[in-house]
Amino acid sequence: MFGVLRAITAIIHFELFPHGPFRYVITRSGLHIHHLFWGVLLLMVTGFAALATRDEAWHLRIAIVFGIALALTLDEFAMWLRLADVYWSPEGVESLKAGAFAAALLGVYAFGEPFFRAVLKDVTAARRR
């Protein structure tokens, strides 16, 4: 999702398809709504949904939407870190670094989950003795 966002934003910024469907979202008053807004909104919704449901079937769906929301927010990490629109400036690379860091953490978790579970099981068993 992070890569898709970068591609769509590049299409909009560099006007690669001037007559295509991709445009900045601008309100009637001239306010530019960044995709960070939608990401934060989705993070809130998925957080509430995760707290509200006990149904295991919904957890995967919530996790997918949470991942999309995370990509939306991390793609504009530099903007919310600096409180300025630095998306296409040299400081904008901070968003790429934040996305790479999050992907690395998810990778460590995904590949290391059996190991972490085994360590946790051993630690809890040792504490019971």
Domain locations in the chain as residue ranges: 2-128
Closest CA to 38 of 63, 61, 14, 5: 5
Tokens coding 63: 């996790």
The confidence score (pLDDT) of residue 21 equals: 83
pTM of the model: 0.79
Residue 1: CB atoms within 10 Å? 15
What are φ and ψ of residue 126, in 5° steps?
A: -70, -35
Looking at residue 19, its pLDDT comes to: 82
Tell me the mean pLDDT in the region 112-124. Answer: 93
Confidence class of residue 120 from pLDDT cuts 50, 70 and 90? very high
pLDDT of residue 20: 78
Of 68, 70, 67, 87, nearest in space to 78 by CA: 87
